[in-house]
Amino acid sequence: MQSQDMLKNKMDAENYGKLRDLKNPKVLEFVSEYAALMEPDKIFVRTDSEEDRKYIRERTLALGEEKALAVNGHTVHFDGYRDQARDKKNTRYLMPKGAKISYYVNTVERESGIREIGEILRGIMCGKEMFVCFFCLGPADSPFSLYAVQITDSSYVAHSEDILYRAGYEQFRNNPGTDQFFRFVHSAGVLENGVSKNVDQRRVYIDLENELVYSANTQYAGNTVGLKKLALRLAIQKASREGWLAEHMFLMSISDLDGEKAYFSGAYPSMCGKTSTAMLPGETIVGDDIAYLRVRDGEVRGVNVERGIFGIIKDVNADDDPILYKALTSEGERIFSNVLVDPEGTPYWMGKPGEMPHKGENFYGQWFPGKADEQGQEIPPSHKNARYTIRLKDLENVDENLENPDGVKVSGLIYGGRDSDTWVPVEQALSWEQGICIKAASLESETTAATLGQEGVRVFNPMSNMDFLSVSLGKYVKMNLEFGGKPDQAPMIFSVNYFLRDKEGRFLNAIHDKRVWLKWVRLRSSGKADAILTPTGYIPLYEDLKKLFQQVLKKEFSRDDYRRQFSLRVKENLAKIERIRNIYVNLKDIPARFFQELDAQEQRLQDCLRQHGELVAPEEFLKK
């Protein structure tokens, strides 16, 4: 009763009525607890109404969290100079004393972590407005979907989530009393010049037991938009209990040569072509980042958790990304973050066509060429991690099944890495088990000199989900292996590699060749293309690729191109087996099947080495 009285003092009758109408004691308790802790001056409850959506957007402008740009509906948001990316160091799971998930997961002892974040949040919203927002992860009224409540004092966070996620207030009201929902508590903390001041006290603490995430002293969306990668961590834990998959995957359709569509999901680490694949010309997109996969009526079906894209804008241009570029330069609700804005209100980013302005405003303030920070480091005009936030429905290639509550049937899973010398451009796994163990759970990506300063370092990133795992890697691999046995027929698994190089370091693939590789994936999944059996998987026949290159890209594909790209690099594949084994052998709870698949692949490669040597042309595998 005291908590309700406190809420009534912080809220006008209309907003208190919105909360009361949900008839949900757990929601009321959640809002009351954190309102009492963080002490906002007032509280706004967002329903699904257009009026409430408009209020949030107007508050972003009034509070200066966003600024209007020249194009109608466009706004820009700036994060602080030291708050431009996910904070991996201070993102930690609250765990019982002595408990740990695995070596790659940051944890903090539960009781001390709760005390620490409680002290950080105490009174942190004094002088501010609290926004209480309700969302649905996945389509409305869907067996896939999960409910969520976000508490934040950032109108930018609330606005971003409105673009990225389905409204959920009515879902809560139609399910009175539900206690199954994710909870997120965020405060940007003390603001100085409109950005978080105390980033040294930035914390992102994840409470798996209560399905609750705390985030403080940060504005960057990867740390604050709770329903994105923070919710993915909670969903992976939930999926592990319930027997489905929460994956860092795109979801798209690919048409065969007759125009018949099928759907595929794919996991690629950063800088490996994930978004450009999901946005391929001539295909349609369901989602670019996170998918929930469940078995329904004997089929693997998937939904996009989101309804929008929070994407890296660097190098987006009219030639390589025509649909996206058109959407970003057209009228409509778009948020640009950490780009350069010229005096006329036009945003610029690295790789945008045209000349970069010689002055403007960016994430460091007023900018000009040669401007340096306090350490003397030159400040780029636009941050390399600058972003855009846009609704999928504003893209011409959005798929008609985006909001289908039953999801889409998934015909195949595609795993892609950045690999200069081992994987062929496209290959089908020998089986679900071999695909999960050898392609998905062994996924690697090479670093690039442009981003990390040291080129060619292989980063292990199983299923492209390493940063977000809330269960042990052994349990996660087991989840994936077991999932393939649940449908009547498991989807095919494929690997792709757009970054194969020759000995001189030249790329063997052109930037648009991925359209051909995915067409072959589509044909293979429906039994319309033959393949060559190799020790590592099934690869395309030359004649099929030659025809596809003509039909899809109107270009020649020579037999020499085919041999250089699809010859089996035996030595490199054996070295990869050794690297992966050395990682997994020191981990606990790895399924025995994983090592069996690793050993079997190694044996096939050793046999091939003895028979054919270190580099084997595809035609050799056709000989009797």
**All domains of the chain in start order, with CATH:** 2-66+79-242 (3.40.449.10), 246-305+402-622 (3.90.228.20), 310-394 (2.170.8.10)
Phi, psi of 52, rounded to the nearest 5 degrees? -70, -40
Mean pLDDT of 326-336: 97
Q: How confident is the model at residue 3 (pLDDT cuts 50, 70, 90)?
A: low
Phi, psi of 282, rounded to the nearest 5 degrees? 90, -10
CA distance 538 to 581: 23
**538 touches 547 (CB < 8 A):** no
Cα dihedral 445, 446, 450, 455, rounded to 10, equals 170
**249 touches 290 (CB < 8 A):** yes
Percent of the chain scored above 70 by pLDDT? 98
Give pLDDT, residue 500.
96
Give pLDDT, residue 2.
57
Residue 510, both tokens: 């052109």
**100 touches 107 (CB < 8 A):** yes
Residue 261 DSSP one-character state: E
DSSP β-ladder status, 492-497 and 426-428: antiparallel
Alpha-carbon torsion (397, 402, 406, 411), positive or negative:
positive
CA distance 384 to 451: 9
Give pLDDT, residue 166.
98
Give pLDDT, residue 454.
61
DSSP reduced 3-state for 583? helix
CA distance 565 to 457: 22
- Express each pLDDT in 222-263 by its tens digit: 999 999 999 999 999 999 999 999 999 999 999 999 999 999
DSSP string, 553-571: I-----HHHHHHHHSEEHH
DSSP reduced 3-state for 523? helix
314 Cβ contact list (under 8 Å, min separation 6):
349, 350, 351, 382, 384, 385, 386
Strands (E) across 268-319 are located at 284-287, 291-296, 299-304, 308-312
Residue 396 reports pLDDT greater than 90: yes
* Catalytic center residues: 272
Residue 104 reports pLDDT greater than 60: yes
- 3-state SS record for 209-238: CCCEEEEECCCCHHHHCCCCHHHHHHHHHH
Residue 270 reports pLDDT greater than 90: no
- Express each pLDDT in 400-453 by its tens digit: 999 999 999 999 999 999 999 999 999 999 999 999 999 999 999 998 644 444
DSSP β-ladder status, 291-296 and 360-362: unpaired
- Express each pLDDT in 18-47 by its tens digit: 999 999 999 999 999 999 999 999 999 999
Phi, psi of 361, rounded to the nearest 5 degrees? -115, 135
Mean pLDDT of 512-540: 97
Residue 491 DSSP one-character state: P
Strands (E) across 485-547 are located at 492-497, 531-533, 538-540
How high does pLDDT run on average in the chain?
95
Residue 475 reports pLDDT greater than 50: yes
Kind and range of the H or E run holding 331: none
**159 touches 66 (CB < 8 A):** yes
